[in-house]
Chain A
Amino acid sequence: EVQLVQSGAEVKKPGESLKISCQGSENSFTTYWIGWVRQMPGQGLEWMGIIYPGDSETRYSPSFQGHVTISADKSITTAYLQWSSLKVSDTAIYYCVRHHVHSSGWRLDYWGQGTLVTVSS
């Protein structure tokens, strides 16, 4: 069974850097796109971007481009989401999710358990 296991909760101060991870359970990790979705406290879901671990091609939502970096290390079937300078407004749960390509689009079929990031001075 496919599993995406995310790193644990983080508490950081504004201006600090952070890298959270999402490890896939199977070798086919490199043949699927992995994306990240943000959920701010009490709010809805926001799609941030995706990466194809096979060749590290990435696509970002304009809302997040330039503020986060999505990367992957296919040798350890792990995707990452990182910030170089956190803001209080980055406080949220971040989910990694496998994007499965079907005939006409995407299906977000396997989700990690979520990583809570708290940014507070």
Chain B
Amino acid sequence: AIQMTQSPSSLSASVGDRVTITCRASQGIRNDLGWYQQKPGKAPKVLIYAASSLQSGVPSRFSGSGSGTDFTLTINSLQPEDFATYYCLQDHDYPLTFGGGTKVEIK
């Protein structure tokens, strides 16, 4: 199975900060990667698919980049509602595999 290594596992940031989360695949996955946000007690929600395509309805402060093995989720000007846990997911091959998650907390 393709392993997804996500970093950092947690971070503290302030409202207005720019936040970057990275994900590395154990082998090349082209651009077959998505980013998901999960708030406590809620189901995850897709933010980005195909590495850089913004899901409809998601604010433009979220952006994704990368291809091959290295990917980045960037949140520009962090908002109070963005404090959550973020997961990458490779959908290049079965089984689909998630990264370990990044918890974004308030500084």
Contact = CB atoms under 8 A, between A and B. Distances in A.
Given A35-B96, A105-B92, A108-B34, 19 more contacts: A37-B44, A44-B100, A47-B89, A47-B96, A61-B95, A63-B95, A95-B43, A95-B44, A103-B50, A105-B32, A105-B34, A106-B91, A107-B34, A107-B49, A108-B89, A111-B44, A112-B43, A113-B43, A114-B43
Contacts of A37: 44
A111 B43 CA distance: 6
A107 B101 CA distance: 18
Interface residues of B, number: 27
Given A63-B95, A102-B50, A44 B43 contact: no
Contacts of A47: 89, 95-98
Question: What class of interface size applies to chain A in its complex with B?
Answer: 20 to 34
Contact of B98 (A44, A104, A114): A44
Contact of A45 (B44, B91, B94): B44
A108 B36 contact: yes
6 contacts: A44-B87, A44-B98, A45-B87, A59-B94, A62-B1, A111-B43
A16 to B, nearest CB: 26
Interface of A: 35, 37, 44-47, 49, 59-63, 95, 97, 102-109, 111-114
A7 to B, nearest CB: 15
Contacts of A35: 96
Given A95-B44, A102-B50, A107 B32 contact: no
A60 B1 CA distance: 12
A104 B31 contact: yes
A107 B87 CA distance: 13
Nearest to A107: B49
